[in-house]
Amino acid sequence: MEKILSGQEISFDDLSLEEKKRFHRAIAYGELSKMIKPWDPWWSKPSARNICLSKEGTQLVQPLPDQELLDDDIGSDELSEVPLGPEIPLPPLSRLSSKEPSPLLTVHLVDILYSYCFTLRLYNGDWKSDALGSVMVVLSVSLVLGQGAQPETVLEALSHCLEQVCCPVYRHMGGLQFGLGVIDDVISLLGLGTPALVCALCDMHRLIQEGEKEAKSERPRKLRTDGTRSAIKLAERRIYFITCWVHEQPEEAWFSLAAIVRAEKTSAMEFQQSNKSENLNNKAEVKGKSLIQEF
């Protein structure tokens, strides 16, 4: 208030924690969409192609401290935007489960990556501003994490995600066209290979963990259901498991999966176009009948 009265500019850091949350929720619900510069995803940065992980999955090249980045501003924005990989070695899948991993995990990965990309788009890249809200978005979009379901095809997984994105809550983001654009984000991540996928899933795991912390501090009446905390905990475990699974897969698997996702997107766009043509024909037919009735 003193800054306002003295005519000084107010920065984001001047806001309280609650004010920051309200500000980012306003962004998420499109209230400030015309005033905010669109976020440039980290997976579109050139540095995302140069992520180096060890055989155990840990980050080989650690980012420089913030001050060093300021002193040497070459590529500093890119380095700071790519999420960190695992801090500790990823265990082999055999240690996490005695069963063979499900062949449907590739489908589940598409579902999870879609919810991750959509959530980051919704929060303009800053999920930390409202971790619990971000988790709730993830759970609402992801069929695997939100409902514990096991979609059997990429089409089934993407259809559910697109259906959620087109619901009234998120329609302000752009509806079906925006939802189809998020599929491109998933394709881009898959095209970057294992290191980028592991980093994305680690970022999502941190998102879930921070959301869980906020859920514990929230009063029960503020949570949507009594099972929210358990749903978050289960989602955290699933993210960790699929991160370990991704780390063990051959690189060529992602290029094949990206091709399948791209094909499903093309089919969805063709279906949408055919529906538009059919609607136009129906309107023309109705208009023609009206003219005949007038005559």
Residue-level pLDDT at 39? 83
3-class secondary structure, 59: strand
Q: Which single residue is written with the structure tokens 């082999």?
A: 92
Q: Report the sign of the C-alpha dihedral through residues 131, 27, 146, 256, in that order.
A: negative
The sign of the torsion formed by the CA atoms of 66, 196, 146, 101 equals negative
Contact between 154 and 261 (Cβ < 8 Å): yes
CB distance 240 to 207 below 8 Å: no
3-class SS string, 219-288: CHHHCCCCCHHHHHHHHHHHHHHHHHHHHHCCCHHHHHHHHHHHHHHHHHHHHHHHHHHHHHHHHHHHHH
Q: Return the amino acid letter for 212.
A: E
pLDDT of residue 247: 96
What is the Cα–Cα distance from 118 to 294, expressed in whole angstroms? 49
Q: Taking the C-alpha atoms of 208, 209, 212 and 216 in order, what is their torsion angle to the nearest 10 degrees?
A: -170
Coil, helix or strand for 117?
helix
CA dist 17 and 1 (Å) reads 16
pTM of the model: 0.78
What's the pLDDT at 173? 83
- Ranges of residues in the chain with a pLDDT under 50 are 1, 4-5, 65-79, 277, 280-281, 283-284, 286-288, 290-295
pLDDT of amino acid 210: 93
pLDDT at 71: 45
Which pLDDT does position 194 carry in this prediction?
96
